[in-house]
Amino acid sequence: DAASGPEGPIASGSPRALVNLGGEAPQNWQQWDKIIELVSTDPQDREAAQARWRYYRSLGLEPSHHAAK
């Protein structure tokens, strides 16, 4: 499995999942079974995450939201 720098992808396990720590949607999203996005409460981070959500939806994907407790 692959890993990279602090803002790069981290892949692990099966199904193949990408933990996206970057500010943009991955260009190679098709190769992943699941994309996990961790979003802080920072307004700029939330705004970028909402833009990625809309992008995923425009691709015909159905993102789901799971709030941390």
Distance from C-alpha of 23 to C-alpha of 57, rounded to nearest angstrom: 17
| 37, pLDDT greater than 80 | yes
Overall pTM surpassing 0.85 (yes/no): no
pLDDT over 70, % of the chain: 78
Taking the C-alpha atoms of residue 61 and residue 3, their distance in angstroms, rounded to an integer, is 25
Residue 52 has which token pair?
């990625």
- Indicate the pairing of strand 34-37 with strand 17-20: parallel
Q: What is the pLDDT of residue 13?
A: 56
- First-to-last CA distance in the chain? 29
Q: Give residue-wise pLDDT tens across range 5-35.
A: 455 555 555 578 899 988 899 988 898 899 9
Q: What is the largest CA-CA distance in the chain?
A: 33
Residue 1 clears pLDDT 50, i.e. is over it = no
